[in-house]
Amino acid sequence: MVGRKSKNHHLPQRMTARIMASGKILYYYRLRDGKSIPLGDDLNAAKIKWAELESGAVNKKTTMADIFARYEKEVLPQKGSKTQKDQGNQLKLLVAAFGHAEPNQIQPKHIRQYLDRRTAKIAANREVALFSHVFNCAREWGYTDKINPVEGVRKNKERPRDVYVEDEDFHLVLKHCTPEMADLLELAYLTGQRPGDIRKWRKSQIKDGVLQLRQDKTQKRMGLRIVGELADIINRAINRPRSACSLFIVATEKGEPLTQPMMRDRFNDARDAASAEVGYKVKWQVRDIRAKAATDSQSLLDAQSLLGHESPTTTKRVYRRGEIVKPLK
């Protein structure tokens, strides 16, 4: 495509010409996303088509539905699988609430109204956080230069989960776990990684005594040295007798990786059995193991590194539960 500064200076804005090898000239209408619409080889006819397209482009208003659609197509596929699923559902709600409006029409009061009307208050916070991210993308894409309407709007109150898994309760549930579920829980505690990631770990990720991994949620790459208790648990998990070989570190007796439903059912069965043994309801969840790993780490910095956080703020606010400190004297 010939640049406007050379052969296209005589053509209307967004109209370009391409000179073919035969010498023939073809005309195109250039869209904002970089794609082009062919206008033919007759300049006068091409200008008529250009005028029709230009009129439509000027009159068409970009709505939030258009922006949400572009985000879903271009940005969302870069996210982790769970984030894609969660944000896909959140986008449907945001389209229903804001899709008809143009970005410049949305005001902070509209964000506040959304937060107030949603019955699921914590979910509303996550949806507004996504709206803010999408709106920032819209600013970068040139759809608006308006200040993000989420800025300055207070979210619904929420408290970080504060359940701490005591060692006694942890080992109580472990005692009633299937072998593969016990492997997963102990690996989750020793590494501080998300159970959803651990289920997908493959033996091939172990290289030179280091477990090479990428967190699905953040795409952050990490390397875990396989030493101490971690080495014992990984060796135990890999070398368990099975009826079929497996590519995965944590696998069932048939060599299959644990799916989310399989993990949930095995954990619930073990927790119910533990509750029956002690006579009270054991309430901690699989996700609480990540927080236990952070809390039991020697320092906030150690916990941050183990969990793979970019900033210690999240580690401290969400995952360090019941931290023990020294007295002044």
Q: Are residues 52 and 35 in the same domain?
A: yes
Helix intervals (H) in the chain: 43-59, 64-74, 81-98, 108-117, 121-141, 167-175, 179-191, 195-198, 228-238, 260-278, 288-296, 300-307, 312-314
Q: Are residues 110 and 229 in the same domain?
A: no
Q: Are residues 173 and 298 in the same domain?
A: yes
Q: Are residues 131 and 246 in the same domain?
A: no
- Look at the chain and report how many structural domains it folds into: 3
Q: Are residues 177 and 311 in the same domain?
A: yes
Q: Are residues 123 and 238 in the same domain?
A: no
DSSP conformational letter for 29: E
| 190 in a structural domain | yes
Q: What is the dihedral of CA 160, 162, 167, 172, to 10 degrees?
A: -90
- 51-78 tens-digit pLDDT: 877 776 544 678 999 999 999 999 999 8
| 177 in a structural domain | yes
Domain of residue 102: give its range: 64-141
Q: What percentage of the chain carries pLDDT values higher than 90?
A: 57
Spatial distance between the Cα atoms of 191 and 183, rounded to a whole number of angstroms: 12
R_g of the chain, CA atoms, integer Å: 28
Q: Are residues 79 and 191 in the same domain?
A: no
Mean pLDDT in consecutive groups of 10 residues from the start of the chain, 329 residues? 53 86 87 79 87 66 92 91 91 95 95 95 95 96 93 90 90 95 94 92 93 86 91 93 92 93 95 94 92 84 76 67 63
**pTM recorded for the entire structure:** 0.64
Residue in 81, 73, 117, 119 with CA at minimum distance from that of residue 98? 117
Q: Are residues 48 and 85 in the same domain?
A: no
Spatial distance between the Cα atoms of 103 and 246, rounded to a whole number of angstroms: 51
Confidence (pLDDT) at 115 = 96
| 9 in a structural domain | no
Query: Left (φ > 0), alpha (ψ -120 to 50) or beta: where does 312 sit?
Result: alpha
